[in-house]
Amino acid sequence: MTVVSIVTLICLLLAVFCGLVVGPTSIGTSRIIGSLFAHLGIGHSTLDTMQTTIVWQLRAPRLVLGLLSGAMLAVAGGTYQGVFRNPLADPYLLGVAAGAGLGATFAIMDVGHAVSTPTWTPLIAFAGAMLAVGCTWLIGGRGMSSNASTLVLAGVAVAALLTSAQTFLQQQASANSIARVYIWLLGSLASASWSSVNLALPYVLVCITICVLCGQALDVMSVGEDEARSLGLPVRRVRTLVIIASSLGTAAIVSVVGLIGFVGIIVPHIVRLVVGTSYRRILPISVVVGAAFLVFADTIARTAVSPSELPLGVITALVGAPVFVLVLSIRRTQQ
């Protein structure tokens, strides 16, 4: 376990290094580290104004947002897989993606003539995501027969409905808006700024903490909800708590970076392969691995075809899908 922790922390440090140092403008590692210490009040920065802006206004917020997004999506995916006891569960299971997509499309279309995506898009996307999860909860939770699969089915229905509404809206849009909606849907960290970090940070920190603390409870729930209740776990309360935490955190991330697929599925599965099936171990390790994974993926996204960028969602799927297939085949041979 300690070996795993050390390896994952080294990966995280490497990711942070990539996030700050790798880029089209080459700036020496030592000078970036010097500037970092200068920020902490030790020594003086040797970066010029331009370089300071690149490192601290472009790369750093993008790095932090990447870390937050990867950590949140990975831990939310792992949590959903535990609470729904379904290995296919991802953070978008209850309609977060469809709701945020509809909100963002609405926001972008509303100012169809503007050149860039409006700054309040994240807020509308967040509202859309929370609305979607709220609908899923109301439909699936009615009668409170304490059945998780009803909730999943309600999520599918809500997502289908909102996606069709989003497609309809998109049909009505100008070519310019369609392109921007499309880019938003693919997910990107390109527009990351300290203000987007500030928008997501409080939600993400609280939600990750709640999910990780509930690892023990999710282990108990792996024997099914009825048995978990007979073992003394307040199943309904735990389920409500972790679903709200995962959805809220995911919605906050989706609203600032768009839809980044696959992280929530592959990261927990890879971690599970290494540390076993206990959520007490899976969730905290997923936080670190997810954060590092997304920053690595983003480093590829912004450097592979420099100066232009690849959509981050394309990279996570491109790297993620083969890794996932590999994980599945390893798991099959283990069994």
Partner 1 sequence: MSAIDIKNLTVKAGAKTLVNDVTLSVEAGTWLTIIGPNGAGKTSLVETVAGIRKIDAGSIAISGEDIRGLSERERARLVALVPQNPLVPGGMSVRDYVALGRTAYHGMLRAPSAGDRAIVDSVIERLSLQEFAKRNVATLSGGERQRMVLARTLAQSTMVVVLDEPITGLDLRHQMDLLELLKKEVADCGLTVLATLHDLTLAGQFADRLVLLDHAQVVLDGPARDVIRNAELASRYGMQLRVVDVDGADVVVPVRS
Min dist CB 222 to partner 1, Å, is 4
Q: Is 229 in the site for partner 1 (CB under 8 A)?
A: yes
For tokens 């376990």, name the residue.
1
What's the DSSP call for residue 55?
Answer: I
Q: Which of 165, 280, 318, 323 binds partner 1 (CB under 8 A)?
A: 280
Helix, strand, or coil (residue 262): coil
Distance CA 243, CA 235 (A): 12
Distance CA 144, CA 125 (A): 28
Min dist CB 329 to partner 1, Å, is 17
Q: Is 209 in the site for partner 1 (CB under 8 A)?
A: no
What's the DSSP call for residue 300?
Answer: H
Distance CA 183, CA 78 (A): 27
Stretch that binds partner 1, among 34-42, 68-76, 180-188, 277-285 (CB under 8 A): 277-285
Please identify, using beta-carbon distances, which residue of 48 and 226 lies nearer to partner 1. 226
Q: How many whole angstroms from its chain centre is CA 324? A: 17
- Tokens representing 299 are 């480093």
Q: Is 239 in contact with 251 (CB distance < 8 Å)?
A: no
Q: Which of 63, 64, 127, 235 binds partner 1 (CB under 8 A)?
A: 235
Through-space distance between the first and last CA atoms of the chain, rounded to whole angstroms:
21
Q: Which of 6, 10, 138, 231 binds partner 1 (CB under 8 A)?
A: 231
Stretch that binds partner 1, among 61-69, 170-178, 193-201, 211-219 (CB under 8 A): 211-219
Q: Which of 209, 216, 240, 303 binds partner 1 (CB under 8 A)?
A: 216
Stretch that binds partner 1, among 70-78, 107-115, 275-283, 293-301 (CB under 8 A): 275-283
Contacts of 114 by beta carbon, 8 Å cutoff, 6+ apart: none
Q: Is 223 in the site for partner 1 (CB under 8 A)?
A: yes
Residues in contact with partner 1 by the rule CB under 8 A? 213-214, 216-217, 219-220, 222-224, 226-235, 238, 272, 276-278, 280
